[in-house]
Structure 1
Amino acid sequence: MTTTKNILIFGATGLIGEHITQAILDQKSHFDRIGIYTSDNTLWTKHEDIGRLKSQGVEIFSGNVTSRDAVNEAYTGFDTIVSCVGRSVIQHQIQLIELAEKHPDVKKFFPSEYGTDIEYGPSSANEMPHQQKLKVRAALKKTKDLEYTYVVTGPYADADSGLFLSARSEEDEQSGTFDVQRKRAVLLGDGEGKISLTTMYDVGRLTVAALLHSEAAKGRALKVNSFTATPKEIAAEFERQSGGHQWKVSITSLDKLKQLESRAYQQGSPQAGVLTLRRIWTEGGTLYERRDNHLIGMEDGMETLEDAVKRAIEVQMA
């Protein structure tokens, strides 16, 4: 077992990356070095974010994620790689893994897994949104000396655009919405199916806990979450926290959701993958016999449904 002391982060300024990076910085007393690898374009477009990271002692490395020489040089002195890259560049992690295995300093790799368990059951191998992540897992399984952990969190319990607690347009609301301003909710399935969710804040904390509990997390899909609730329970909490006024609530059945998904693929819609994930969640694809929070000392202190809805309302009303 290798102790994590020096961490290099990819995708540090992205949607989930910023939360994971901040969680690592919040616990920086446990680490000797924290660095990020980002694109030259990001240095300019997110210069304020980069400046804040520098002010907290983060080392900045830049280059193309596909540049073997630049990545290999950046790896020097870092024992752990944490990837938070977005879905559009998931496949580039395969080269990152190959370089990590050959680098004398790198001992651990945390791929960008945060979300649905891509090996939940036999049918998971056929789901379109899973294909690139499955290739990444296959690449890690081929390594001999590289330790790895898949941090599996389920859908994000947040209201940022497109996330589970977000308000979707009237045109897209059949795929599920919790709209605070319109006091409108569209629930998936029959509204009674349980879904395990994780706030992005907790994704960061859970990732750090996995880094600090190397032996328990090593070589496994670590299935963690903040809380489990039904869509009806979520809608009721939105009603309660938005003044107690009754919302207009309707249902998109599982069959209807499947129809929307099929049509989206036929039309080449970018929403097709989103609909597949929402169908998987509605079918119970985030529920496990038991979650793994206890393995990394995170069984208690997770954010609650009440916490998530409070923040979602703040985001939607901003």
Structure 2
Amino acid sequence: MAEKSSVLVIGGTGYIGKFIVQGSAKSGHPTFALVREASLSDPAKAKLVQSFKDLGVTILYGDINDKDSLVKAIKQVDVVISTVGGAQILDQLKIIAAIKEAGNVKRFLPSEFGNDVDRTRAVEPLRSEFEMKVQIRRAIEAEGIPHTYVVNNCFAGYFLANLAQCDFAIRSPPRDKVTIYADGNAKGVINYEEDTAAYTMRAIDDPRTLNKIVYISPPGNVVSHNDIVSLWEKKIGKTIDRTHISEEQLLKNIQESPIPINIMLACNHAIFVKADQTWFDIDPSIGLEASKLYPDVKYTTVDDYLNKFL
């Protein structure tokens, strides 16, 4: 068996980043995480970094804005995975420059982990964030950097705990009433974060995924808003009152809402009204579907995930 690539995760203390770091270490890849020393002043992040160390992760102190520390870190690994947040998407241009300078990277995975930004039908303010990701894709390609784009669509932690109600304060699916956008029949894709990490780690050494898009769209996780609510109703043995909001009203709400509510609403519009994640067929010349590539990965279905709230 070929030796597993060493991996550097940039943004590992962020939401999806921690799952990627953990997934890399647990799957046997020599794993490094680039961490700002200042972030350790946050007790929660300090605890998370210690948990990385307990898994055998090597912590490298540095910063995406510190070229020397960035290049030094990159020179120690085969694969670089960026999981930086929305505010730092364009800072990845610095990672691209550092990868070019280091000259040793076999694969770069930029911070995607959402919709396919080259095929989106999202409205503002979400579209602007997607356009920044498009800019990063084109920069990677222009520099000839070997890459894989991971399109995992939705995070289960964001969309199932609240039945896509745009309220992260809701920690358990509603049992009385929900808001449904438009007719509620557009299909999205919702994946468990640990599964996203598992598929990502399988892809990084796979020659089939080189310079391709890996779509994480297992059939058990392709669901409409109505499907999600119906699955929950079946589990709790109760009919939930559904209030439908028209697309016109939703667009008005997006324009009138403050950050971050407007972004969350725009996300739901893209996914559950425009079917942003499912309206197109995967072009085999540029993309592959993860559950078909790796049928041995036992993923958590939306139905299974909802059981944790019973």
Q: Which residues of 2 match residues 203-218 of structure 1 at below 5 A? A: 203-213=196-206, 215-218=207-210
Is the 1:194–1:284 Cα contact (8 Å) retained in structure 2?
yes
Q: Summarize the Cα distance change of 1:306–1:5 in structure 2 as closer, same or farther, 3 Å threshold.
A: same
Separation (CA, whole Å) in 2 of partners of 1:4 and 1:217: 16
Q: How far did 1:295 drift?
A: 5.6
Q: Which residue does 1:68 correspond to in 2?
A: 67
- Does residue 84 (structure 1) correspond to residue 79 (structure 2)? The answer is no
Question: Alpha carbon RMSD of aligned pairs, Å?
Answer: 2.8
Runs (5+) with no aligned partner, structure 1: none
Per-residue deviation, residues 77-117 of structure 1 (Å, max 9, x unmatched) = 21110111111111111110111022132221100100011
Tell me the amino acid that sits aligned with residue 133 of structure 1.
Answer: K
Is the 1:75–1:106 Cα contact (8 Å) retained in structure 2?
yes
Separation (CA, whole Å) in 2 of partners of 1:263 and 1:123: 17
Tell me the amino acid that sits aligned with residue 13 of structure 1.
Answer: T
Q: Which residues of 2 match residues 44-59 of structure 1 at below 5 A? A: 44-45=41-42, 46-59=45-58
Runs (5+) with no aligned partner, structure 2: 283-287
Q: Summarize the Cα distance change of 1:127–1:17 in structure 2 as closer, same or farther, 3 Å threshold.
A: same
Q: Which residue does 1:17 correspond to in 2?
A: 17
Tell me the amino acid that sits aligned with residue 65 of structure 2.
Answer: T
Structure 1 length as normaliser, TM-score?
Answer: 0.84
Q: Which residue does 1:280 correspond to in 2?
A: 270
- Does residue 260 (structure 1) correspond to residue 253 (structure 2)? The answer is yes
2:230 to 233, 236, 243: 236
Q: Summarize the Cα distance change of 1:212–1:307 in structure 2 as closer, same or farther, 3 Å threshold.
A: farther
Tell me the amino acid that sits aligned with residue 164 of structure 1.
Answer: F
Is the 2:108–2:147 Cα contact (8 Å) retained in structure 1?
yes
Separation (CA, whole Å) in 1 of partners of 2:297 and 2:63: 40
Separation (CA, whole Å) in 1 of partners of 2:22 and 2:247: 37
Q: Which residue does 2:180 correspond to in 1?
A: 187
Q: Summarize the Cα distance change of 1:75–1:239 in structure 2 as closer, same or farther, 3 Å threshold.
A: same
- Percent identity reads 20
Q: Which residue does 1:310 correspond to in 2?
A: 307
Is the 1:35–1:60 Cα contact (8 Å) retained in structure 2?
yes
Q: How far did 1:48 drift?
A: 1.6
Q: Summarize the Cα distance change of 1:133–1:61 in structure 2 as closer, same or farther, 3 Å threshold.
A: same
Is the 2:122–2:267 Cα contact (8 Å) retained in structure 1?
no
Q: Summarize the Cα distance change of 1:169–1:306 in structure 2 as closer, same or farther, 3 Å threshold.
A: closer
Separation (CA, whole Å) in 2 of partners of 1:178 and 1:234: 16
Separation (CA, whole Å) in 1 of partners of 2:171 and 2:247: 18
Is the 2:191–2:301 Cα contact (8 Å) retained in structure 1?
no
1:165 to 139, 156, 160: 160
Q: How many residues align?
A: 296
Tell me the amino acid that sits aligned with residue 167 of structure 1.
Answer: N
Secondary structure in structure 1 of the residue aligned to 2:15: coil
Tell me the amino acid that sits aligned with residue 290 of structure 2.
Answer: N
Separation (CA, whole Å) in 2 of partners of 1:169 and 1:216: 34
Structure 2 length as normaliser, TM-score?
Answer: 0.86
